[in-house]
Amino acid sequence: MSRPIVATVDTSALRHNLAVARQAAPHSRVWSVVKANAYGHGIDRVWQSFAATDGFALLNLEEAILLRERGWKKPILLLEGFFHADELAILDQYRLTTSVHSNWQIQALAKAKLSAPLDIYLKVNSGMNRLGFAPEQVQQAWNKLRGLENVGEMTLMAHFAEAETSEGIEQPLRRIEQAAEGLDCLRSLANSAATLWHPHTHHDWVRPGIILYGASPSGKWQDIASSGLQPVMSLNSEIIAIQNLKTGDGVGYGSRYRAQGEQRIGVVACGYADGYPRHAPTGTPVWVDGVRTHTVGAISMDMITVDLTPCLQAGIGSQVELWGSNIKIDEVAESAGTVGYELMCALATRVPVKIS
Ligand SMILES: *Cc1c(COP(=O)(O)O)cnc(C)c1O
């Protein structure tokens, strides 16, 4: 590749972050969430770094099959379950654990011809109102499933809409406890935020995603600053041109930035077609030649312009970190009005990825 942009995935940080998640929930088993191609890191690149996990959670059958074909023998959980009844034959063949969130799935499980029972995760709607049975419907769904030959081990599962705060946890927990009343069941409730911050939600299996990739579930990197989590993905490039501006000179599309005086600007080989957020405003942090500076003007498809005022030594070929260990992906995301999750997932396929 001649264009200097490259993303790096730090596999030792992946291993380290899994250990951090485990320490946070020492009495629980861990589903490592690798949906969305491992949050944009590439499931095939990262899964071996998670070899110490108890299971993988994801949504695409293709991703589940890939893990089985690579030799992963431990559990795989389909977080949204099967989408059509005919997929049950594949779940059977590859021994996949499925979430069950709707009555039609119970009927499909009742009718399917399977070689052996499948483990299921019965999903409770904790108040988020996406997937799951209302608390008052759970006992009936549980009993129906318990009576099916095709159903093996059963776990009660729920998800939190606002696990960043204690208040966000309480009401959903009450709904979950209402649903579970009288059931002697395994439970899996905790996403990353609950894994880090709400030990009473841990129960039998936790389901961390974003923290495995070293970013913050709240969107604020300060919230994980003392957790020991390490950034996994770095996005790096180089300065490919320099412009010397005079007062009033514009930069980029729409001239959204104008120089207030004489100013040196660097042009970086990275744009929104690489996955850098187009909405990042002037002032979004960037690391150039070992110095923290910021973007100026609009993000183009293939280029970003940055202020070189604090980077006295920088010139063509200087190293640029868009995000990584110096500039947290959460900082860039926050500046652009999004979350680290979205930036990771949006890394474009045209960006070459290096493993370190
Ligand atoms: C994505 C997802 C997770 C992981 O969420 P993070 O915030 O990344 O930890 C856990 N459970 C379910 C059901 C999910 O869809």
CA dist 229 and 49 (Å) reads 15
* Distance of CA 63 from the midpoint of ligand 1 (Å): 16
**Active site includes 253?**
yes
Task: Single out the residue in 214, 249, 269 at which a domain terminates.
Answer: 214
Query: Is residue 173 located within the same domain as residue 246?
Result: no
Per DSSP, which regions of the chain are E strands?
Answer: 6-9, 29-33, 55-58, 76-78, 97-100, 118-123, 151-157, 186-188, 205-206, 233-245, 250-251, 257-258, 263-268, 285-288, 291-294, 304-307, 319-323, 353-355
CATH of the domain at 273: 2.40.37.10
Q: What range does the domain containing 285 cover?
A: 233-355
Q: Is 130 annotated as a binding residue?
A: yes
Query: Is residue 199 located within the same domain as residue 261?
Result: no
Q: Which residues line ligand 1 (CB under 6 A)?
A: 33, 35, 79, 159, 191-192, 207-210, 217
Q: Is 1 annotated as a binding residue?
A: no
Q: Measured from the CA of 99, which atom of ligand 1 is nearest? A: 13
Q: Which of 35, 121, 272, 328 is catalytic?
A: 35
Query: Is residue 131 located within the same domain as residue 246?
Result: no
pTM greater than 0.85 (yes/no): yes
Query: Is residue 169 located within the same domain as residue 306?
Result: no
Query: Is residue 76 within 8 Å of 68, Cβ to Cβ?
Result: yes
CA dist 51 and 47 (Å) reads 7
Specify if 5 maps to a domain: no
Q: Measured from the CA of 195, which atom of ligand 1 is nearest? A: 9
Q: Which of 111, 121, 246, 253 is catalytic?
A: 253
Query: Is residue 199 located within the same domain as residue 269?
Result: no
Specify if 4 maps to a domain: no
Q: By C-alpha distance, which of 88, 38, 45 is closest to 212? A: 38
Specify if 58 maps to a domain: yes
Q: Measured from the CA of 163, which atom of ligand 1 is nearest? A: 7
Q: By C-alpha distance, which of 306, 210, 290 is closest to 252? A: 306
CATH of the domain at 162: 3.20.20.10
Counting the structural domains of the chain, the total is 2
* Distance of CA 14 from the midpoint of ligand 1 (Å): 17
Specify if 3 maps to a domain: no
Specify if 228 maps to a domain: no
Upper half-sphere CA count for residue 119 (Cβ side, 13 Å): 17
DSSP count for the chain of H helices, then E strands: 11, 18
Q: pLDDT at position 103, please?
A: 97
Question: Could you read off the pLDDT of 245-294 as tens digits, one per residue?
Answer: 999 999 999 999 999 999 999 999 999 999 999 999 999 999 999 999 99
* Distance of CA 61 from the midpoint of ligand 1 (Å): 17
Query: Is residue 285 located within the same domain as residue 165?
Result: no
Query: Is residue 329 within 8 Å of 285, Cβ to Cβ?
Result: no
Best residue for ligand 1 mutational test, from 191, 195, 202 (most atoms within 8 Å of Cβ): 191
CA dist 331 and 39 (Å) reads 18
Task: Single out the residue in 160, 186, 214 at which a domain terminates.
Answer: 214
Q: pLDDT at position 25, please?
A: 98
Which residues of the chain fall short of a pLDDT of 70?
1
CA dist 330 and 340 (Å) reads 5
**Active site includes 257?**
no
Query: Is residue 135 located within the same domain as residue 280?
Result: no
Two structure tokens written together for 142: 């549980």
Specify if 226 maps to a domain: no
Q: pLDDT at position 1, please?
A: 64
Sign (positive/negative) of CA torsion 121, 125, 126, 129?
A: positive
Question: Could you read off the pLDDT of 80-93 as tens digits, one per residue?
Answer: 999 999 999 999 99
Query: Is residue 35 located within the same domain as residue 112?
Result: yes
Q: By C-alpha distance, which of 47, 51, 151 is closest to 92? A: 151
Phi, psi of 223, deg, nearest 5: -65, -20
Query: Is residue 261 located within the same domain as residue 345?
Result: yes
Query: Is residue 197 located within the same domain as residue 267?
Result: no
Specify if 6 maps to a domain: no
Specify if 223 maps to a domain: no
Query: Is residue 127 located within the same domain as residue 252?
Result: no
